[in-house]
Amino acid sequence: MSSNRFQFNQHSFTTAENENLVQHLKERTKKPVIGYLCCFAPPEIISAAGAIPYRITGRPGRDTSAADAYVEPYGCTYVRSILARAAEGELDFLDGLVISHSCDMVQRLYGIWTYYHPLDFSYLFNVPHQLTPWARDFFKRELGFFRENVEHFTGQKVSTGQLQETINLYNKNRSLIRKIYKLRKYDRPPVEGSEVFEILMAGGVLPPEEYTGFLESAVHDFKRREAAKEKVPRIMIWGSIMDSPVLYKIIEEAGGKVVCDDTCIGFRTWEKDVPSTEDPYDGLTEHYFINFQCPRTNRGPGVGRFNYLLERAREYKVDGVVGYIISFCDPHKFDYPDLRDYLKEAGLPMVLIDDNYSFEPAEAIKTRLEAFIEML
């Protein structure tokens, strides 16, 4: 890291360092660690039940041959990366595992992982694909089943008041993240996109109460910085799961600045608070099922489902959009042609990086992005 990048207690939040940190937290707090891949199963429930929620990440570009005995080689490389890490024992520090049915490949990961490498606790969180009244009721019931199972594992009951307190704490962190994003609206933002991404990654490992202090320190640091020296093309990133800042850094090296995003570890999770409702499970349903803009959820025909992206692009004065899709990620690939045409009609160019979760060859990707940014 360069000296002007934000650091918290000299921690850079790489995958390896995150795992060391969560193991240290486990020893210090004596709490079990429950790993999760997608936030459809709310980490608020895990935290309120007395466990440490840990967002599992892969390792882009790393050999996944350990997964070849379990899944076909043409399957999602992100899923295969995580399965390889589990097979090689790198995730043995986990006490539990929660996987949401975000896509068929992820659901298959749950079956293989829990059969060949069982954990003390495991749960498959069912998520409907349609936004209908019955689907909403189904999701809310699933939240209750999930809570009961986590309670049984940790031995700690989750009261309505306790869950609401935890939601409020997470909402405070969302508010702090929005303050960081607001700084990126400036003509010369004082913060790099890759830097913000690393801060968001920290939210997948730090308990919410400790993440609050981390974010407050980041906001304080960023507000004291001078504006960037020059204006450069402003980029929005859209696409598949990204748990590495590599693409952000390539864009920065190519002469652009990522000022906003639409990814599941990015603003999709943090853009809005969980609504305050008399029954907190109604608020969690509204946030994680209704408002979470994931292409795996059918929001009906037509390009109107992309309106929020155009509004965000205009809010952050975006010059162009970089799409990132992992090979075989069908939900995002089905959306891409419509989204590209929709943005083009609005005067916003888009380039697609179709990757196998390796960012290789990096120079070829950088050359494409340099040409795109030069065009902007």
pLDDT at residue 18 greater than cutoff 80: no
Name residue 1's amino acid: M
pLDDT at residue 15 greater than cutoff 80: no
Nearest alpha-carbon partner for 34 in 192, 205, 189, 186: 205
The 10 Å CB-count burial string (b at 16+, else e) for 255-278 is: ebbbbbbbbbbbbbbbbebbbeee
Q: For the chain, how many residues are written?
A: 376
User: Which residue do the tokens 């891949």 mark?
Assistant: 37
Q: What is the pLDDT of residues 291-322, one digit of tens each?
A: 999 999 998 888 889 999 999 999 999 999 99
Residue range 192-219: average pLDDT?
Answer: 93
Range of the domain at 45: 15-160
Residue 38 or residue 348, greater confidence: 348
Residue range 152-164: average pLDDT?
Answer: 97
Residue range 256-270: average pLDDT?
Answer: 93
Q: Are 80 and 108 in contact (CB under 8 A)?
A: no
pLDDT at residue 7 greater than cutoff 80: no
DSSP character string of 86-97 = HHTTTTTT-SEE
Provide the pLDDT confidence category of residue 220 given band limits of 50, 70 and 90: very high
For residue 193, being part of any structural domain is answered with no
Distance CA 257, CA 232 (A): 7
Provide the pLDDT confidence category of residue 2 given band limits of 50, 70 and 90: very low
For residue 308, being part of any structural domain is answered with no
Mark out the alpha helices in the chain (DSSP H runs). Answer: 15-29, 43-48, 77-87, 104-116, 133-154, 160-183, 193-202, 208-223, 246-253, 267-270, 280-285, 307-315, 330-345, 362-375
Hey, how many other C-beta atoms are within 10 angstroms of the C-beta on 44?
Answer: 28
Sign of CA dihedral 160, 166, 172, 174: negative
Helix, strand, or coil (residue 243): coil
Provide the pLDDT confidence category of residue 23 given band limits of 50, 70 and 90: confident
For residue 316, being part of any structural domain is answered with no
Q: What is the pLDDT of residues 54-84, one digit of tens each?
A: 999 998 988 899 998 898 888 889 999 999 9
For residue 98, being part of any structural domain is answered with yes
Domain of 55, CATH number, reads 3.40.50.11890
Residue 301 or residue 355, greater confidence: 355
- State the pLDDT at residue 200: 93
For residue 136, being part of any structural domain is answered with yes
Helix (H), strand (E), coil (C) string for 193-209: HHHHHHHHHHCCCCCHH
Parallel, antiparallel, or unpaired for β 33-36 and 96-100? parallel
Q: Give the whole-number percent of the chain exceeding pLDDT 70.
A: 96
Which value, to the nearest 10 degrees, does the dihedral of the CA atoms of residues 256, 261, 262, 266 take? 130
For residue 285, being part of any structural domain is answered with no
Domains in the chain, number: 1
For residue 210, being part of any structural domain is answered with no
Q: Mean pLDDT of all residues in the chain?
A: 92
- State the pLDDT at residue 1: 39
For residue 351, being part of any structural domain is answered with no
Distances (CA, A) of 322 to 84, 91, 162, 315: 29, 32, 41, 17
Distance CA 128, CA 116 (A): 27
Distance CA 227, CA 221 (A): 13
Distance CA 107, CA 46 (A): 20
Query: Sheet holding 320-326: strands in order across?
Result: 257-262, 234-239, 320-326, 350-355
Full-model pTM = 0.94
